[in-house]
Amino acid sequence: MTVSERIDAVYAIAPHRAAYSPEEDAAHELAAAWMREAGLEVLRDGAGNLFGTRGDARVWAGSHLDSVPTAGRFDGVLGVVAAIEAAARLPDRPLAAVAFRAEETGPLGCKRIETRPDAYLELHIEQGPVLAELGEPLGVVTAIAGQARGTRVFEGHADHAGTTPIALRRDALVEAARFVLHVRECAREGTVATVGYLECEPNATNVVPAKVTVSVDARSAEAALLDRLIEEIGFDVHWRSDPVPMGDAFAAVLPDAPRLVSGAGHDAMFVPNPSMLFVRSLNGGVSHHPDELSSEEDIALAVDALTAALDRLTAP
């Protein structure tokens, strides 16, 4: 089977493969069969992460097989099947193809990895429009952005929407709306910030809002810029991850490819000495959606690059 055929086979199990669900289990069983066909020994750790290993496998490549409810067919799956294909092309090399658990619903599986590699390579679709805008099929990832997530709460007073004069209102939603614009204005070069969720109380058509909780998602590949962004926005941080720099395994085989920062999190955040390569996303860069698309030609180039990088790292 080709890489594209294997991607289709995983998608045919179910578009939505929730972590530790029967659908994700079935995807792992399918990948395990392909690993055996590639001459790899199949192992699983205590978290259910799947490894197809050969020899003293100190170099790993892979991604994940779980997916969001609105998934396309490439996110995560491409990295797993590409790793298996690369391993089959390098039949005498000590390496491992890996399928991690639970990437889309939290880092549980990755954080419970029982052994650690000397290097980890991950091939992934870009999930954005940058490479398509540049007219480039592949991009070397320089870092995964750090993230800060939290909330800001605005307190007002619930009053009748018809009888309370505008000048006498304490409208929490009006203040929250000003804050949403403030968040956008704080995001400068090298950072992004997003309000994606508002909870309004009492959330009734004819009542002045008394309380609004606003979500904030702030990201940057530079820790200092992320710190500054958090301070300028002004919100309560409930969760934070630091930026993760990527290694040069792909840069060594693609010296002229464009360099990109990953704004999304990936399995590579939780594995030592990671390197990542992005494949151009088409259809406007849409992802986590059935219209997610990368071309067979771009995928072929990416698998070649992954194979070359693994060949270089595992050479005697």
Domain of residue 208, CATH code = 3.30.70.360
* R_g (Cα) of the chain, nearest Å: 22
How far apart are alpha carbons 256 and 289 in whole angstroms? 31
Domain CATH for 7:
3.40.630.10
Please report how the helices 77-89 and 296-314 are oriented relative to each other, as an axis angle in degrees rounded to 10.
Answer: 50
pLDDT tens track for 75-132: 999 999 999 999 999 999 999 999 999 888 785 445 556 678 999 999 999 999 999 9
Residue 77: which of 125, 118, 127 has the closest Cα? 125
pTM: 0.90
Residue 280: which of 314, 257, 263 has the closest Cα? 257
How far apart are alpha carbons 37 and 28 in whole angstroms? 14
Given a cut of 70, whether residue 60 has pLDDT beyond it is yes
Q: How many folded domains does the chain comprise?
A: 2
Do 96 and 138 fall into the same domain? Answer: yes
Last residue of a domain, one of 241, 261, 286: 241
Q: Domain residues for 235?
A: 146-241
Q: How many helices (H) and strands (E) does the chain have?
A: 8, 14
At 115 the pLDDT is: 74
Please report how the helices 22-37 and 3-13 are oriented relative to each other, as an axis angle in degrees rounded to 10.
Answer: 150
Rounded mean pLDDT of the chain?
A: 95
Pairing, β 198-201 against β 244-245: unpaired
Residues contacting residue 154 through CB under 8 Å, at least 6 positions apart: 172, 173, 175, 176, 179, 211, 212, 213, 214
CA distances from 112 to 101, 169, 254 (A): 10, 52, 32
Phi, psi at residue 84, to the nearest 5°?
-65, -40
Do 138 and 156 fall into the same domain? Answer: no
251 band by pLDDT with thresholds 50, 70 and 90: very high
How far apart are alpha carbons 21 and 278 in whole angstroms? 28
- Considering the chain, what percentage of its residues have pLDDT values greater than 90? 91
Last residue of a domain, one of 241, 270, 305: 241
- Do you know the residue count of the chain? 316
Do 32 and 66 fall into the same domain? Answer: yes
Do 294 and 271 fall into the same domain? Answer: yes
